[in-house]
Amino acid sequence: MFLESCQLIFKGKRFVRLFIFIVVCLGFLIAVTILAGLTIFDRQHNHILHDYVARNDDIVVLSTTYYENSKSFPPSTAVILFNSVQVFHLKYSTLNVVAETMQGNVEVQFKIQPVINKIPFFCKWVPYIAVGQVPEDHVLLKLSTNKKDGMELSLRTPFQTPRKVVACFSPLFLNERWQLLLATVEIYSHYGAFLHFYVRSMITDLFKLIKENKNTRISPWPSIKIGESRAASPMFDPNTELEFRNQASAMTDCLLQYKESAEFVIFPDPDDILVPVLGKNYHEEFTAAFNMFPTAGAIVYNMTQTSIESSITPALYSPISLLSSIKFKGEQRWGKLVVRPERVDSTWIHRSYSIKEGYEQKVMPVDVNAFYHLRIWKFPDYPTVNRTKISNPPYFDPYHLNATKRTVYNVSDGLKIQRKFKNRVSDGNMKSIYSRLPKVSLYYPLIEVCYNRIFYSMKDIGTCRGPEYCNIPAFPGLRCTNVASEFVTYKSYRNIYIHQLISTDFEEGENGCTL
């Protein structure tokens, strides 16, 4: 019966035309619906489809670390750290590196691994590492897909000085909250960490105080630049699509530098304070933690929210008074990592996606230990230095349950931290620099308002967030240490424009801090 009906339709020319017209219209509507759906999906997911089908791409090479011998990699391995669009590893599985040797050129395929292996991510650009084993007698390495030229890679070697614990801090910008940074340096140093800071901009007097500390290292951390020859549109600034000052790249850069020399590496923000509980110092703490979790490559210490008090006047300031004034808010937030560097090849601040086979990421229970997140600041009119208060620290109470009888620090440690700090800022040139620290914050209130809007309020959670979205005015006359950098572009690699950081350094100025 159905076949007979179809035959009747196709016998009449008018009905044939009508049938074809209906089919074409339905096909058109379906195609429009699919395209509209894909367009909406792409717009909601940071244009990942657009980036995937794009013919050409940009990458920005930040560093290339060469390991002659390694606990993590085969002999003569190089690791390239770079930024690109979040689908780059789906389009390209390797980068072609040419190693020039005395016997001739050797091509090596460097395997690409995303540092943040999460799609869609809320930022369009993310960090990657590319790993390859090169000839031991190489003279130079270059990214190239032709036999004529290439982008020569600037090689560095990892640090060799043994360190038990290294703290790699997320990049600092417009930094003037000396009350926080000085406390961070003193507390982490006291418990046995070597501190590595990445800085984009900081008031000069604070910069000098941190730099002169023998237990710290400061590296310039520039915003990235892509040249005029590029795949992206001329108006595109990749810094607006990198998460929080490209912090995952900074964390991975730090890990790569200390991979061979550190036993443990921790990745906090400067306002995250960890006091050892499982031992007297960080080394004992982390040794015990990894004994608790023997299959761990990384362990997450969660954050517990706190409020603290401090002084605006250097003469009345005490770093340990921050901890003695702690009030717990009963709230827990995202954790920060400590890793065994030989078990992890890259890291984000909250998670590692590159833990070696056989290991995993574990979470330390909050009631065992947690970071104190110094989130809410108060600056009372009265002095905050009070020996009686320092000698009577509050109890650790992350859940507001009064369930523990453990104080937030040992009194003997608190007194030692206070004494060491006073000796440090009373010494020679440091005394005059310390006395000049500002009583009024210019940048911090502006950043706090901006971050409450773009981050802590949890609004627009699916969009990229960073200081580039904050409206920061200029402050002429303010002495700041900023970062100057230079990038070069190579445009003859097949379908990829390569932009490489070739130099970066600090420069002092008197027109305020820059992003």
User: Tokens 């791409």 appear where?
Assistant: 57
Same domain, residue pair 321 and 464? yes
- Its sign, for the CA torsion 391, 407, 306, 189, is positive
Q: How many domains does the chain have?
A: 2
Give domain status of residue 252, yes or no.
yes
- Find out whether 224 and 35 touch, Cβ atoms under 8 Å: no
- Please give the pLDDT value at position 459: 59
Are residue 311 and residue 443 in the same domain, yes or no?
yes
Length of the chain: 515
DSSP H or E stretch at residue 496 = strand 496-509
| Same domain (yes/no): 48, 177 | no
Q: Residue 356 pLDDT more than 80?
A: yes
Looking at the fold, whether 240 and 382 belong to one and the same domain comes out as yes
pLDDT score, position 36 = 52
Look at residue 211 and tell me whether its pLDDT is greater than 90. Answer: yes
Query: Which residues in 144-231 belong to E strands, given as ranges?
Result: 151-152, 155-156, 163-168, 194-199, 201-203, 216-220
Arithmetic mean of pLDDT over the chain: 90
Are 269 and 336 in contact by the 8 Å Cβ rule? The answer is yes
Q: Parallel, antiparallel, or unpaired: how do β-strands 163-168 and 262-267 relate?
A: parallel
Most confident of 13-17, 296-300, 466-470, 473-477: 296-300
Question: Cα separations (Å) of 513 from 70, 201, 247, 304, 328?
Answer: 39, 6, 19, 31, 33
Q: What's residue 2's pLDDT?
A: 46
103-124 pLDDT, tens digit each: 999 999 999 999 998 877 788 9
Q: Assign 4 a pLDDT band (cuts: 50, 70, 90).
A: low
Helix (H) or strand (E) holding 273: strand 272-273
Task: Give the model's confidence band at 35: pLDDT under 50 very low, under 70 low, under 90 confident, else very high.
Answer: low
Give percent of the chain above pLDDT 90: 73
Asked if the model's pLDDT at residue 128 lies above 90, the reply is yes
pLDDT at 175 over 70: yes
Place 198 in a pLDDT band, splitting at 50, 70 and 90: very high
Indicate whether 306 belongs to any domain: yes
Determine contact, residues 135/98, Cβ cutoff 8 Å.
no
Domain assignment of residue 376, yes or no: yes
**Domain limits for position 279:** 170-482
Rounded average pLDDT over 165-189: 96
The helix (run of H) or strand (run of E) holding residue 61 is strand 57-67
Q: What is the pLDDT of residue 72?
A: 92
Note whether residue 207 is domain-resident. yes
Mean pLDDT across 228-256: 94
Is the per-residue pLDDT at 3 higher than 50?
no
Cα end-to-end distance, the chain, whole Å:
76
CA distance linking residue 225 with residue 443, whole number of Å: 24
Question: Considering the domain boundaries, does residue 89 fall inside one?
Answer: no
Buried b (16+ CB within 10 A) or exposed e, 349-359: bbbbbbbeeeb
| Amino acid code (one letter) for 456 | Y
Task: Name residues whose C-beta falls within 8 Å of residue 288's C-beta, 6 or more positions apart in sequence.
Answer: 278, 279
| 35 shares its domain with 176 | no
- Domain for residue 404, yes or no? yes
Indicate the residue type of 377.
W
Indicate the range of 122-126, 369-373, 419-423 predicted with least confidence.
122-126
pLDDT at residue 44 in the model? 45
pLDDT at 221: 97
Burial class (CB in 10 A: 0-12, 13-18, 19+), 126: buried
The predicted model gives 203-217 an average pLDDT of 96
Residue located via tokens 């979470």: 363
The reply to whether 31 falls in a domain is yes
Higher-pLDDT residue of 127 and 469 is 127
Give me the mean pLDDT over the 75-100 stretch.
Answer: 96
In a domain, 321, yes or no: yes
Residue 14 has a pLDDT of 64
In the structure encoding, which two tokens stand for residue 150, read together?
């290439």
